[in-house]
Chains A and B, each alone.
Chain A
Amino acid sequence: MSTTAFPNRARVDALAKVRGEAKFAADLVLPRTLYAMTVPATIAKGSLSSLPVEAALRVPGVVRVLTPEDFPAPPPYSEDGPPPPPTLETIIAYRGQPVALVIAETLEAAIEGAEVIRPTYVAEAFACVMESAGAQRQPADEVAFGDAPAALSGAAATVESTYDSPTQHHNPLELIATVAVWEDGALLIHESTQASSLVKGAVAGALRLDPARVHVRGATMGGSFGQKAVQRQTALVARAAILTGRPVKLVQPRAQIFHTATYRARTRHQIRIGADADGKIVGVQHHVEQEQSPNGYFAVSEYHRDVIRMYGIRNYLGTGADIRLDRQDSGYMRGTHPQPAFFAFESAIDELAHKTNRDPVEFRLANDTRVDPQNGHPLSSRFLNECLREGARRFGWSRRSPVPGSMTASDGSLVGWGMACGIYQSATTPAIATLRIDARGHTRFAISGHEMGQGMRTAIASVLIQDLDIDPERLEIALGDTRAAPQHMTAGSWGTNSVVPAAMQAAQRMRAAVADLLDGRQVSGNLHRKLASIRRPFLQVEVTTVGPGQDQAALETLRQGGFAVAEAVYPEFSTFSYSAHFLEVRIEPRTRRIRVPRVVSIADCGRVISPRTAHSQVYGGVIWGLSHALREATEIDPRYGGYLNEDLADYVVPVNADIGEIEIGLIDQPDPLANPAGVKGLGQVSMVGISAAVANAVFHATGRRIRELPIRIEHLL
């Protein structure tokens, strides 16, 4: 466990990015590249009755049009995990589903070819939102301990409300881009992805290829946030490369991405929560319903996992249902399940604190827990109350006038001070890493992991530079490349805390190997010079690490490119990260525009390895939380299916002018049990709870409790 804080190093890829030198997947231009464009289905459900391609083939430059006939049948059902995304099919499951892929010598020709293809369909009735006739409601497994209904019936005070969180799309600036190359019987895929091994497996599965002949190279990413996992487009582009024998590139237009990529499912949370006369929470009932694709695997029960551990709740009844709809799969999106769940839960906490006349900070402090409420195991580290106290101090919370509507600014604006907490599991994946230092000054570290801008590469560099006397200018960190190391999906805030311990162990082993080699000889210079002096061209070490409770089997799953996450409710303890957010809203007296001039956000993510990028993570999380609360919603017209506001003009995200002062604090106390580095996850927890803090501040400013997102002007007129 790291006993001292890490220095604030610059982001290792910052210069390359600001100079435009970093190469994203869409930047890749290979000789003889062909360009692809998909033809999206215009119906929401049904089947293709004809797919005439002649018009497209007449467009000058169009080389080929791929149709469902160009693809093998889907692989048989396997229990090993979700099947690969379908390729081109004649059955239409959602509007925007690709039905053909036009391949051309230029992008312009590919677009024109795609535009002139006019398939005909047999349309069927469909259901695309919760309220649609024909939406199938499918109850989910219960998550329960204690006896919540009984506890609530004896509570001194209870509140019960329903909270709505809308469909949202990730919309990273970078579009989804794939370049596939078929050469000497092997497929090399360049893609912007946070799951290169899953892409490899999915493409091999969909196209019936030997996985050993499929390689995936994750490019520099321009944001991902859960969107860039496994895409339907990859196997299509790969097939086109195989059939044409030339590199094929597809950069999917944003309007199509809305219809093919995953998104945050719309959810509705009913929460009943009660406290005793001393202000202790006695029980919670939480029913959640989410919109879900017909075969989507996105588990409803996960909305409960983090809520259960937020406070010392002894009685919990979590229920839920999937509402099955004719849509593409929803999926992970920053803060995934806790994000909407905590808008609901931390709003309900605020409502209960208000009803019982308690300060919302004091109320939370008094409901702390030292053990995992579900199983009684210890929490490996928990500095939630430290986050609360530090945030309250920095924000000046003690100057808050508790009565709603009692604070106004000199320009007549209503002032609201609100706060809320967040929590996210700190899961772990196994890692296999190779560290090689050579006598010519070069160091290469290869490991499973994807740099999405979150700073994983900088965190690894921080460790290696601190622990090894190497040339930092010539340190190469290979990530996301299935040829360099077995890859695991990077998501769920398990990235840094899974790779940093491996980097530390590799450095330690390297130092030992060097010592063995030198065998007591005094050789001057850095490690490269030492190797040169003793005429060793290079020295290489390999290490493996696993999460708490994992064994060799997890490493084997990693080698197979599978999913090997140790969820944070570990066998002997549970590890979660925490955050506390404080913010001020100002609401115009007449036109009711809501502004957020300042935010204080404090996080407990264990030991901070890379302060610079950790702070950036929290800035991003806070800003996206504000966006979740005040800006973003994907609009679906139930008469047509699909997504109406399918571009960045109509899908409203914040601009710089929307963002006020954001003050970040990190507790920086190492977790003693989770891993030898003492690191916990940060990416997700930094966002969880912000939207509730906004709603709570709006209530404090106006006395109006808004239980649906985004909160807009019309809610407050």
Chain B
Amino acid sequence: MRPFTYIRPATPQEAVGAFAEAGEGARFIAGGTTLYDLMKLTIERPAHLIDVTAVRGLDRIEMDGDRLRFGANAAMSAVAGDPTIGRDYPVLSEALWKAASQQLRNMATVGGNLLQRTRCMYFRNGGGGIYPCNKREPGSGCAAIGGLDRGQAVLGTSEACTAVSPGDWPVALVAMDASIEVLGPAGSRSLPVGDLYRLPGDTPHLEFTLGPGEMITAITVPKTPAGRLSTYHKIRDRESYAFALTSAAVALEMSGDRVEGARIALGGVATRPWRASEAEEVLIGHLLTPELALAAGQAAFRDARPGRHNSFKTELGARTITDALIIAAGRGRT
């Protein structure tokens, strides 16, 4: 636990300016549900914290026009509890409800959630001095490979890192083709949520594509009728308050029992929120049966590279997709 400075700017411009001024070792902080943890674990050692929770107007939930727009500071619980989102986009609502606990959802923001760091035990635990980790200390190696890797990723891994991207919300957003709005020293830009995340490759310590001092200001989701036939199905080691072993965000466009459009993204199994286009292709144009749903699930894991203790994730992941598809399609029949 090292001393740090702390300020609370009132506008996005001030926040970005403060970051640039602080220089090395600056971090934005919102709900603090990840960053404070990582500071206690000595993984994050910021010298300056720029608290963006006092930035005005950044917590709005807007539904005018052709996109849903969530201010980055909106609490997870606020979006999760929004009745329109719950009705028209259950995949978004469920992804939030099934994450963390009510207390954490009250604190954590939907913008900060996108930047949550991995829960890989070798990354977080051991007080920083025990387990080699290429994320924590580039070039030191990866203890998870060849180790206790039950929780590790089977998709998108590299020789340097198999850490799972931990979020639920980003998975749902990737399925729904969402984008983020970003403000930085060079002005504002927007990018698809999927493009926020890097594959580990040789540089697993580089996780996000945000530039220095860039801050997420909003998340936008294109409106679609597929939102109604959607779900976020999450399988974990207990009923709540746990990260996914496998999860699937699914949204469908159906014509009767025939699949016209399918969006599938996976959590708990990959190094970034994982769009499973192979699985989507299996479904398009066909009648949705349990058998076809399973075939789609299996297609998603065709390129899986399991380790020593996590090979079950390919089978469980395929079955999770199967159940998610059946749940989502079932929402059209009520």
Contacts and interface: CB of A to CB of B under 8 A. Distances in A.
Interface string A590-618: 11110100000000000000000000000
Given A115-B1, A717-B315, A652 B242 contact: yes
Contact of A655 (B238, B245, B312): B238
B121 A717 contact: no
Residue of B121, B127, B235 with highest tally of chain A CB at under 10 A: B127
Nearest to A640: B130
A8 B130 CA distance: 52
Interface string A625-652: 0000001000101011010111101101
A255 interface: yes
Interface string B227-266: 0000000010111111001000000000000000000000
Interface residues of A, number: 34
A714 B238 contact: no
B1 A591 contact: no
Interface in A673-717: 712-714, 717
A644 B122 contact: yes
Interface in B110-167: 119, 121-122, 124-127, 129-131, 143, 147-148
A706 B241 CA distance: 26
B1 A108 contact: yes
Given A255-B125, A640-B143, A644-B125, A712 B237 contact: yes
B312 A642 contact: no
Given A115-B1, A591-B319, A637 B148 contact: yes
Nearest to B310: A714
B239 A645 contact: no
Given A255-B127, A649-B119, A591 B323 contact: yes
Given A591-B316, A655-B241, A657-B239, A42 B129 contact: yes
A717 B316 contact: yes
A112 interface: yes
B121 A644 contact: yes
Contacts of B121: 635, 644-645, 650
B310 to A, nearest CB: 9
Interface in A75-126: 95, 108, 111-112, 115
Contacts of B277: none
B109 interface: no
Interface in B281-334: 312, 315-316, 319-320, 322-323
A637 B1 CA distance: 27
B203 interface: no
Contact of A591 (B125, B242, B320): B320
A658 B238 contact: yes
A678 to B, nearest CB: 40
Contacts of B147: 637, 639
A480 interface: no
A650 B125 contact: yes
Contacts of A657: 238-240
Given A639-B143, A647-B125, A713 B240 contact: no
A141 B125 CA distance: 39
Contacts of B119: 649-650
A108 B39 CA distance: 12
A592 B122 CA distance: 27
B42 A637 contact: no
Interface in B5-36: none
Residue of A95, A108, A631, A637 with highest tally of chain B CB at under 10 A: A637
Contacts of B122: 644
A226 B287 CA distance: 58
A112 B126 contact: no
Contacts of B237: 631, 652, 712-713
B130 A42 contact: yes
Contacts of B148: 635, 637, 644
A40 interface: yes
A654 interface: yes
B42 A713 contact: no
Contacts of A108: 1
Interface string A230-270: 00000000000000000000000001000000000000000
Contacts of A647: 125
B97 to A, nearest CB: 12
B322 A590 contact: yes
Nearest to A44: B130
Interface in A354-396: none
A98 B155 CA distance: 40
Given A591-B316, A646-B125, A714-B312, A655 B130 contact: no
Contacts of A712: 237
A717 B143 contact: no
B146 to A, nearest CB: 8
A645 B126 CA distance: 9
Contact of B126 (A590, A592, A640, A655): A640
Contacts of B238: 631, 652, 654-655, 657-658
B292 to A, nearest CB: 14
B315 A658 contact: no
Residue of A40, A255, A644 with highest tally of chain B CB at under 10 A: A644
Nearest to A715: B312
B143 A593 contact: no
Nearest to A95: B130
A652 B1 CA distance: 26
Nearest to B309: A714
Contact of A713 (B1, B127, B235): B235
Contact of A590 (B2, B143, B312, B319): B319
B242 A645 contact: no
Contacts of B131: 637, 640, 644
B127 A637 contact: no
Contacts of A255: 125, 127
Contacts of A40: 127
A649 B125 CA distance: 11
A713 B129 contact: no
B94 to A, nearest CB: 15
A274 B52 CA distance: 69
B239 A591 contact: no
Nearest to A659: B239
Contacts of A595: 239
Contacts of A717: 312, 315-316, 319
Nearest to A647: B125
Given A115-B42, A652-B238, A714 B316 contact: yes
A255 B131 CA distance: 14
A112 B2 contact: yes
Nearest to B290: A590
A107 to B, nearest CB: 9
Contacts of B143: 637, 639-640
B206 to A, nearest CB: 25
Nearest to A110: B1
B127 A42 contact: yes
Contact of B130 (A112, A635, A642, A650): A642
A385 B155 CA distance: 54
Interface string A28-60: 000000000000101000000000000000000
A112 B323 CA distance: 49
Contacts of A592: 316, 319
A654 B239 CA distance: 8
A169 to B, nearest CB: 14
B204 to A, nearest CB: 19
In order of increasing CB-CB distance, the 8 nearest A-B pairs are A657-B239, A714-B312, A590-B319, A111-B1, A42-B129, A657-B240, A652-B237, A658-B239
Given A592-B319, A593-B235, A714-B316, 6 more contacts: A637-B131, A640-B126, A655-B239, A657-B239, A657-B240, A717-B315
Interface of A: 40, 42, 95, 108, 111-112, 115, 255, 590-593, 595, 631, 635, 637, 639-640, 642, 644-647, 649-650, 652, 654-655, 657-658, 712-714, 717
14 contacts: A42-B130, A255-B127, A591-B235, A591-B320, A591-B323, A631-B237, A640-B130, A650-B121, A650-B124, A655-B238, A657-B238, A657-B240, A658-B239, A714-B312
